[in-house]
Structure 1
Amino acid sequence: MKRDCGMVWRHYCALNELYLKGQTSAKISSNDFINAVLIRQKRFLRPKMGNLKILEAQKGYKEYYEKEFKEDFERFNTFLSTHKLSLDARQKYTADDILTLIFIEDNKSALKANLTTIRKFSNVVFKGFGSKYLESRPGLLKAVCKLLDISSFPEKEPKNLQWRLTVDCLNPKAIVLCENLAFLKTPWAAREHNVELWYVGGNNTAIIDYISNDKLLLPIYYSCDWDYHGLLIFQNISERMILKGCKIKLLFPNDPDERLPVIMKHHKSKWIPGKELSGLKQSLFNVAYTTLIQDLIKNDQWIEEESFEFVELLRQNGVIVDYLDKRL
């Protein structure tokens, strides 16, 4: 699915109109993706002869739309309509905004029970956009408050923040503990492969103490940012799991070359210079893991969990291979 392409809800509406009616008068050609890819590169769209204000769909557009946008549009449209959120095509929800709103609705009870300040909530739930993201988008903030059934966020943090955010499935074959919320925002991908997801980022790691014994019989994996803090949380979780007589495997990035510089906006985790493996316990990492970590430290880089392709990540780490083959 094409989600990280700078499109907002009105663009999705216009592309759906092109799919259904073959044309639209919506002004969408200023979007970089639509202009560069759909109009110029693939030539799926072009201005109407005699009326350049109207875009017309060309051969191949319907097939492309069905592959890249149709499922998301229908899911987003159903959600916004069901919860009586604005369906106005002028609404500036991004795909990530809508996925996050869906996530908030799915985890309403847990999020509301330990409600944080608006900036903490924004920094965690809308990760990657900064702590002021919600404050700067009053329409999105209004939608969040409506879903949580609150009038405002508290001014102070709760003393013990223990969100228990999960993607449950009826017949789990494995459990993946996630540092970030990205995978939990697309729960259908996990359920399709009988994988249960738990959010254990930041102060939430204590919830693993309450994993039931029957769940400990399943293979358990950990997905995280490959930076100092992400791997340090893995170390903490590994030690907790050892006390429970269980091991957890760190998921190796499906594309280890997709890296970011450590020094960048909204990223605060830095490697510790002068310490072997940045002070992490080497016994927890095999040769391949150690080599990658050393290379990231050397080049002052990190790998973001959100860059992982979920299903491919599970396949390459052997999480779903055994029973995936039976379904094909």
Structure 2
Amino acid sequence: MNKQLSWKEIKALHQLFKDGQTAMKIAGHPYIKYLIENRYIGFKRGSDKILIANSTFHDKYIEEQLEESYARYYSFLAENELLFSYTSLSEFEIKKLIQLKQSSNIWEELKSNIQAGKESRKGVSNKYFKSAKHIKKGSFLENAVLKVLDIETFPQNENQGFYRVPCKNPKCIILCENIYFLTLSIAPQNNIELWCAGGNNTTPLERLPKIDYPIYYLCDWDFHGLSIYERIYSIIENVTDKKSSIHLITPNGKKEGIEQTSNNHRSLWNSKSQLSGLKKSLYQQDQIELIQQLVRNNEWIEEESNDFLEIIPQTNL
């Protein structure tokens, strides 16, 4: 099951593993309810506040690699001075903060753009956390992002940056909806130049004077992601000096239930409209069939779940 744990639940489960009990209030979380219902853990006799570990919990905890996650997150939070009794971050947010910290090739440019007023809270939120509104002003998450980037504040404007990872001998361009693949070295090693504007941030694409190489689009396969693709398709078509129209990459990533990932995913299909209201003419037949399957099963495919090496053949390199 998709646990969607927070640091609070992760810390409490570690207490159960190490000490055999915890007084932290976590029983309302769906994953904790699952552990209780399956008798991995339970309330101490005579108490409705203290959870204790049953004999089967140790193996379950190890099997689900919860100790590795705890150790990794604890180390990261401690090293970045984010470890407090009131630390309020989800596992999704901690993973994104780690990704941000480790993205040395993007980190410097991102920090520089923020300090120059070329990137905003909204832009960072959109590129790293899937939604422009995910980082709330004054929240623990905002302070954590600023700490990781080693800056004091975001600019007051809502500018959003445009990022490129060039390579020596580019054969094509892949425009990504999110910034994840720009943090890896795999694309330049395969003669691919990566671009990222960040989902709805299409304005930089409207200013392109020319596109020197064939261009492809990689995105989340949900209604929101594909709607953005359709808008970008129209924008690229209006660029006169270009090597090709934009080609949509068919994902090979994991299908996930929309309801199970709703905490960090807010895009819904319209099952009452043909192809959820998307423009059928902009998709290949196999892509249409995949969209229909996703709508039917109320699923989506996250961009980051794709195997990038398996995507490369779609670019005809």
TM-score by length of 1: 0.62
Choose from 134, 137, 148 the match for 1:135: 137
Partner Cα distance (1:175, 1:62) in 2: 46
C-alpha contact (below 8 Å) 2:255/2:300 kept by paired residues = no
| 1:157 counterpart residue number | 158
Which one of the candidate residues 42, 46, 49 is aligned to 1:46? 42
Query: Displacement of 1:9 after TM fit?
Result: 1.0
Output the amino acid matched with 1:110.
E
What amino acid maps onto 2:113 in structure 1? N
1:95 to 91, 95, 104: 91
Q: 1:223 is matched by which residue type in structure 2?
A: C
Q: 1:55 aligns with which of 52, 57, 64?
A: 52
Give 1:221 shift. Answer: 6.0
Query: Secondary structure of the residue that 1:102 maps to in structure 2?
Result: helix
What is the aligned partner in structure 1 of residue 5 from structure 2?
7
CA–CA separation in structure 1 for the residues paired with 2:19 and 2:254: 38
Letter aligned with residue 319 of structure 1: I
User: Any stretches of 5+ residues in structure 2 without a counterpart?
Assistant: none
Structure 2 letter corresponding to 1:125? Y
* Aligned equivalents of 2:28, 2:247: Cα separation in 1: 43
Kindly state the Cα deviation for residue 59 of structure 1 after the two structures are TM-superposed.
1.9
**Distance of 2:144 and 2:10 partners within structure 1:** 19
Report the alpha carbon displacement of residue 48 of structure 1 after superposing the two structures with TM.
Answer: 4.5
**2:305 is equivalent to residue 310 of structure 1:** yes
Q: Would the aligned equivalents of 2:222 and 2:269 in 1 still touch at CA under 8 Å?
A: no
- TM-score, structure 2 normalization: 0.64
Distance between the aligned counterparts of 2:99 and 2:141, measured in 1?
14
Equivalent residues of 2:5, 2:91 under 8 A apart? yes
User: C-alpha offsets along residues 234-288 of structure 1, whole Å, 9 cap, x if unaligned?
Assistant: 6258757x9336974522475779568xxxx9969999xx999968582x52222
Q: Report the Cα offset of residue 93 of structure 1.
A: 1.0
SS in 1 for 2:86: coil
Would the alpha carbon gap of residues 293 and 7 (structure 1) be closer, same or farther in structure 2, given more than 3 Å must change?
Answer: closer
Q: Deviations over 1:155-199 (max 9, x none)?
A: 1234xx433276x99xxxx98643135x559x78x97xx998753
Secondary structure, counterpart of 1:157 in structure 2: coil
1:126 aligns to what? 129
Q: Which runs of 5+ in 1 are unaligned?
A: 322-328
Q: Distance in 2 between matches of 1:276 and 1:55?
A: 49
The reply on whether 1:69 has 2:66 as its aligned counterpart is yes
What is the distance in 1 between the residues matched to 2:75 and 2:112?
27
Say if 1:164 and 1:207, in contact at 8 Å, map to a contact too.
Answer: no
For 1:62, the aligned partner's letter is: D
The aligned residue for residue 108 of structure 1 is: 107
- Distance in 2 separating the partners of 1:279 and 1:6: 30
Identity percentage of aligned residues: 22
**Bigger mean CA offset, 27-36 vs 220-229:** 220-229
Quote the residue 2:230 is aligned against.
232
2:133 partner letter: S
Distance 2:230 2:247 in 1: 14
What is the rounded CA distance, in whole Å, between the counterparts of 1:165 and 1:57 in structure 2? 51
